[in-house]
Amino acid sequence: MSRTVVIAGVGAGLGESLARTFIDEGCQVGLFARSASYLESLSADLGDDALAVPIDITDPDQITAGFERVRDEFGPIDVLVNHASGGAWKGTREITHEEFQHALAVGPAGGLACSQEAVDDMLAGDGGTIIFTGATSAVRGREGAVGFSAAKFAVRGLAESMARELGPEGIHVAHVVIDGQIHPSGAADTADRDAESYLDPDEIAKSYWHLIEQDRSAWTLELDLRPHVEAF
């Protein structure tokens, strides 16, 4: 079954792995990010089933225009992955008001705006899937990262609230806790590190696909992913 997917916040690593996995599964994918040059290069590599849509996820008007481009090219939205995040890695006394507001604008506010664009398509069709990418900081605040932690906590609450509202309408909303570091594929310094301490982005992407394929009788609300060497 072909699906139209939007990945909001695509970069090298997990975002790219998600795009490749979804296309391998027969989907057509809209790629949202600020870097036009990166998106154009990735889209060309992925082929005709990928569409580069350079936008600023903090601008609702750009989000609306981006979804219209995807609909014009591929049709109504079936799957949305809210993958964008931002936040200065600063503590209570160092972070500025503008930096804190930006973290909220990218994560929860951007995720809500993208979800609002996708939901009507899903309700008009046979339902759909919305996945939020979370982090350890979504369940346990990180020292020296008040903006990032606050935004990730907010994203988790947004996902849970949406799941309870939209689940009965046939829309599966899930939150994925990425509890660990994702393997920086191609990085020069990984040879000296223990590869088993990293999450493989391609394997994470398979877990996202499993969420999309789940039967409605057994939907996952929150999925925790971590390397096997980490303590639970």
pLDDT per residue over 167-223, tens digit each?
Answer: 999 999 999 999 888 887 644 444 445 666 789 999 999 999 999 999 999 999 999
Contact 101, 55 (CB under 8 A): no
pLDDT at 183: 80
Q: Which amino acid is at 62?
A: Q
pLDDT at 185: 61
Tell me the CATH architecture of domain 4-225: 3-Layer(aba) Sandwich (3.40)
Delimit the domains of the chain by residue range: 4-225
3-state helix, strand, coil in the chain (%, to 5): 50, 20, 30
Q: Scan for tokens 């932690």, then name that residue.
A: 149
Contact 198, 27 (CB under 8 A): no
Q: What gap in Å lies between CA 90 and CA 87, rounded to an integer?
A: 8
Numbers of helices and strands, H then E, in the chain: 7, 9
pLDDT at 2: 87
Closest C-alpha to 225, from 205, 215, 217, 214: 205
E strand residue ranges, 59-208: 79-82, 128-135, 171-178, 181-182, 198-199
Please name the helix (run of DSSP H) or strand (run of DSSP E) that holds residue 65, with its range, or none. helix 60-74
pLDDT at 87: 78
Has residue 121 got a pLDDT over 70?
Answer: yes
